[in-house]
Each structure stands twice: as structure tokens, then as C-alpha cells.
Amino acid sequence: MKTRIKELRAKHNLTQEDLAKKVNVRRETIVFLEKGKYNPSLQLAYDVSKVFDLRIEEVFVFEDSN
């Protein structure tokens, strides 16, 4: 899974810490999301997308494993 979080953060002038506070997670979680090292829960994916006012699939790009 790839994400556009880093690009969207830069566009909205948010640091990782700012975004972490907005979605109530640790900064490390945002780091892992950006690097694709963690697949978030649906709730977290929704919360992050809501910060950028986008749909989930516009922020998180799921790769078809099949």
C-alpha cells in the first residue's frame, strides 16, 4: 500500500507531529504510514483522509495483491 500523506502534508503545511495530533496517534505512526510500513485501521485511514478533505482511496493507494 502506498500513501500520498507526505505530499498532502506538504500541500497543507502540516508537520508529521501536527497530523499526528489531529488524528490522535503518535508521530511514529505517521512516519510508518508515509513509508508504507504499516497498514492503518479503517478508522485511522478515514481520520487521516478527513484531515485532507479527501476520500480514503485518494490518500491510500491499495495495490492489488492478486
Partner 1 sequence: MKSTKTALILVLVGAVMFSGGLWLYSTGKSLGLLEIGTAILVLIVVLLSLFVGLKRIKDEKKGLPVDDELSLRIKQKAGASAFSVSFILWPIILIFTMDSDLDVRIPIEIGILAMGLIFIGFWIYYSRMGLKDENQN
**Best CA proximity match to 9, nearest among 62, 27, 42, 39:** 27
Q: Which one of 26, 57, 58, 61 is in contact with partner 1 (CB under 8 A)?
A: 26
Asked if 41 touches partner 1 (CB under 8 A), the answer is yes
Q: Which three cell numbers stand for residue 33?
A: 504510514
Q: Which is nearer to partner 1, 36 or 50 (CB)?
A: 36
Asked if 46 touches partner 1 (CB under 8 A), the answer is no
Contact, 33 vs 16, CB < 8 A? no
The values of phi and psi at residue 57, to 5°, are -70, -10
Footprint of partner 1 (CB under 8 A): 17, 20-21, 24-29, 32, 35-41, 44, 65
